[in-house]
Structure 1
Amino acid sequence: MVGTSPAGKGGIATVVSVLQQAGFFEQQQARYLVTHADGSPWRKLGAALAAAWQVLSICLRERPAVVHVHSASRASFYRKSLLLALARLCGRATVFHLHGAEFKQFALQESGPLARWWIRRTLSKSSAVITLSESWATFLRELAPAARVRVIANSVRVPPPAEPAREQPARILFLGRADRRKGIFELLAALAQLAPRFPAARLVIGGDGDLALVAQTAEQLGVAQRVSILGWIDSAQREAELAQAAVFCLPSYDEGLPMAMLESMAAGKAVVVTPVGGIPEAIVDGVNGILVPPGDADALAAGLGRLFEDEALRRRVAEGARATIVARFGTEVVMSKMAELYRELAQARGD
């Protein structure tokens, strides 16, 4: 299995970390290779070349049954697609695992004819393509009809039930890159609308992005004293913030199936999110979350306000969220699906 460092930032790192902690690599006799390094372009190039050499060497010497890459868009895609090509040259089964919420934009708008051909070829030539939701599977099948697409959602560790006594009223938690695509500016505007009705309303932001612009916008809206900008936080800090939050909110314009949302649901938190990407396949409005249109600060304020003024609704939605994770996204459920795919691919090649 190939991807970014489990100790790094972002959804892929979180997914791999969950698998690692659950013992998936030991169960499947799998080795994990890190192909991306933060730092200068030269350092990144060195890490990519080292990974290519490792993949080629392992494929030739150890002949693994499956080479499985986790990929997003742009540079991530090009690095991983070349590794898959090397693995195919060595006769190995290959799995392309898509995580990037912007892959549609990358494939259809940013890529020229040659790049689109390479994208379609990579998808079609892979032994299997994993995507996080049926909506993304439909898109990939339209883009590359020959692709063998399998839907396997991200896995989530289910922690002990939340302690209601630790929650702070009207405290909103946002986790992720604080930029326009994630809807952070609509969330700030919604907070400004909610403040007069809910004096305790507060927003905590855990993530990177243009945090100076976020702070400036909060100041302009008159809610700077209600906003805590933490920057990127580690897993221990994330758990602590989730324990205190009344609601998790991620009003994105596009998504795959966000790990931050799934983790918040697993922690027994009511979530307010937008029906984009794979989210509508996980969230039923009013049952295990609240859905609001992207880009609509008024609707976002109304959705958050419903949960703040109706504690029974908030508790019911939170319980529904956690039950959804246990039934569909728990680590054991997802790991069994991935193990089944590995067995199928290995048997098909006679390994």
Structure 2
Amino acid sequence: MWYPNRQNPVSGTFVHEQVESLRQAGSDVRVMQPLPMTPFPLPLFNKSYRDLAAVPDEEDDAGHSVYHPRYLTLPEHRLFERVGDWMFHAIRDRLQSIYQHWPFDIIHAHSTYPCGYVANRCRDEMFPHVKVMHTIHRTCIIDAPNYNRACFEKVRDSLDGADFNVFVSGEGMRLGLDYTADRIGPFSRYITNGVNTEKFSLSCAERQEVDALKSTYSKSWNLVFVGYLKEIKGVKELLTATRNLVAQGYINLRLFLVGENHLGSYVDDYVAANGLQNVVVQVGAVPHQRVKIWMRFASTFILPSHSEGTPTVLFEALFVGAPSIFTRVGGVGDVGSDQQEALLIPPRSVAAIEQAIATLMNDPLLCRELAARGNELIKNKFTWALNAQAHLHVYQRLLGLGFARRKDVELA
């Protein structure tokens, strides 16, 4: 479900990074990203449908094919309990064709429903010797089970049916064990995401860009947010906290919003109504490879989400040495500790956001200490190279193989 494509190059960058790391570690990986159907005349009236319709059935990704079979899905998760079956019928012929030329050993599905359900069914009906592994993210363990009872049962049965389950957060794993009455415990593991340390290191030209930004905004204290501008990301609370801090005398505070706007005119209206035109800078969406420039520029990085799995920007911000503020949601607390690598605050709290920002604005030494400890933590424990090695151990366990043999993996 998640993978960068020509129309949305920032979608699922965490899966792309994992794929690259697995290939570098010796795995042969092919990628299938099923996409929703876009029947006429929907693309005429909706930009998101136009963007989806523009994605070809097969794309080249650095010399590797990414397949995009189309499946039926309905707005607002209507009949979501049937989407798994619709996706199965959409991909089975393509997957069978791939297998005839390249008999893969494992289907690694990123989500337990619908993708993991589809992978289980493909194994059961088409590839009895293939193993199935699910990586469980926030959406498929927190959101999908709550759409309705039938969706909950699909998620639970999909977890039960996998040969192995990997959870990217401790919270997700606790929920998975609860949903299945601990049945999946013996074939489950917590392996969180990471950062590509090579890609997130700055080149000389990129350092010059950072220096230029710092020079341009040398008189302000620069707070950077990176993510979709959505209510669930805590953007509304962040704007309110920024307004309050400026009113309290923190007049050198400047907020940079880096990411695609999903709030319509809300940010513009709020900025205008509260006189924040010289405080809030809407950068807009940037390519993933340029996120590190904004993070390295930041006096502090903030992600005040209401809910998360384990956000990739957590690892990226800590690695580049940005003193950071995160809400303690999802897997955030599994990675860093409050006052050690970052400031961790409760979600949905304007007061907590204000206090955390003010704390870092008033304590340069704490900023430097957080930055150093965060960078060290990520380098030692949370890189995509380490993630790939952990997954190779799981693959080897599934296939009963020694460490020397290369694995063939199909990611769906």
Name the TM-score, length of structure 1 as normaliser.
0.87
Query: Aligned residue for 1:67?
Result: 107
Where do 5+ consecutive residues of structure 1 fail to align? none
Aligned partners of 1:3, 1:185: CA distance in 2, in Å?
A: 26
Aligned partners of 1:27, 1:47: CA distance in 2, in Å?
A: 30
Query: Aligned residue for 2:70?
Result: 47
Residue identity over aligned pairs, in percent, reads 18
SS at match of 2:35: coil
1:68-110 Cα distance to aligned partner (Å, 9 max, x none) = 01128xxxx3255224311333111001112234732320x31
Query: Does 2:278 align with 1:225?
Result: yes
Query: Aligned residue for 1:151?
Result: 190
Deviation, structure 1 residue 128: 0.9
Deviation, structure 1 residue 231: 2.5
Aligned partners of 1:308, 1:7: CA distance in 2, in Å?
A: 39
Aligned partners of 1:282, 1:10: CA distance in 2, in Å?
A: 26
Query: Does 2:170 align with 1:119?
Result: no
Query: Aligned residue for 1:259?
Result: 312
Within a 5 Å distance, the mapping from 1:5-44 to structure 2 comes to: 5=4, 9=8, 13-22=12-21, 24=23, 27-36=26-35, 39=49, 43=53
Structure 1: which amino acid aligns with 2:27?
Q
Deviation, structure 1 residue 218: 2.5
Instruction: Flag the 1:293–1:33 CA change in 2: closer, same or farther, 3 A.
Output: same
SS at match of 2:278: helix
Return the index of the structure with the highest Cα Rg.
2
Q: Which moved more, 1:264-273 or 1:164-173?
A: 164-173
Query: Does 2:226 align with 1:175?
Result: yes
SS at match of 1:294: coil
Among 108, 123, 132, the alignment partner of 1:94 is 132
Query: Residue 116 of structure 2 contacts residue 158 of structure 2 at CA under 8 Å; is this kept in 1?
Result: no
Within a 5 Å distance, the mapping from 1:208-223 to structure 2 comes to: 208=260, 209-223=262-276
Aligned partners of 2:192, 2:9: CA distance in 1, in Å?
A: 16
Query: Does 2:294 align with 1:275?
Result: no
SS at match of 1:198: coil
SS at match of 2:134: strand
Aligned partners of 1:3, 1:240: CA distance in 2, in Å?
A: 24
Query: Aligned residue for 2:121?
Result: 85
Deviation, structure 1 residue 214: 2.0
Where do 5+ consecutive residues of structure 2 fail to align? 37-47, 56-67, 72-88, 402-406, 408-412
Q: Which moved more, 1:312-321 or 1:170-179?
A: 170-179
Query: Does 2:241 align with 1:186?
Result: no
Alignment RMSD? 2.9
Query: Residue 109 of structure 2 contacts residue 133 of structure 2 at CA under 8 Å; is this kept in 1?
Result: yes
Instruction: Flag the 1:212–1:281 CA change in 2: closer, same or farther, 3 A.
Output: same
Aligned partners of 2:317, 2:51: CA distance in 1, in Å?
A: 34
Instruction: Flag the 1:182–1:102 CA change in 2: closer, same or farther, 3 A.
Output: farther
1:119-159 Cα distance to aligned partner (Å, 9 max, x none) = 11111110111111222111111112322321111121123
Query: Residue 224 of structure 2 contacts residue 294 of structure 2 at CA under 8 Å; is this kept in 1?
Result: yes
Structure 1: which amino acid aligns with 2:163?
S
Aligned partners of 2:176, 2:100: CA distance in 1, in Å?
A: 30
Query: Aligned residue for 1:309?
Result: 362
Query: Residue 56 of structure 1 contacts residue 87 of structure 1 at CA under 8 Å; is this kept in 2?
Result: no
SS at match of 2:223: strand
1:278-320 Cα distance to aligned partner (Å, 9 max, x none) = 1111121111000111111111111011111111100110111
Instruction: Flag the 1:60–1:121 CA change in 2: closer, same or farther, 3 A.
Output: farther
Give the number of aligned pairs: 343
Instruction: Flag the 1:118–1:41 CA change in 2: closer, same or farther, 3 A.
Output: farther
Query: Does 2:171 align with 1:135?
Result: yes
Structure 1: which amino acid aligns with 2:143?
Q
Instruction: Flag the 1:6–1:156 CA change in 2: closer, same or farther, 3 A.
Output: farther
Query: Does 2:222 align with 1:199?
Result: no
Structure 1: which amino acid aligns with 2:16?
S
1:217-259 Cα distance to aligned partner (Å, 9 max, x none) = 2323332331122332112431221221111111111111001
Deviation, structure 1 residue 5: 3.1
Aligned partners of 1:70, 1:82: CA distance in 2, in Å?
A: 11
Aligned partners of 2:100, 2:226: CA distance in 1, in Å?
A: 41
Name the TM-score, length of structure 2 as normaliser.
0.75
SS at match of 2:371: helix
Aligned partners of 1:12, 1:256: CA distance in 2, in Å?
A: 15
Aligned partners of 2:271, 2:382: CA distance in 1, in Å?
A: 35
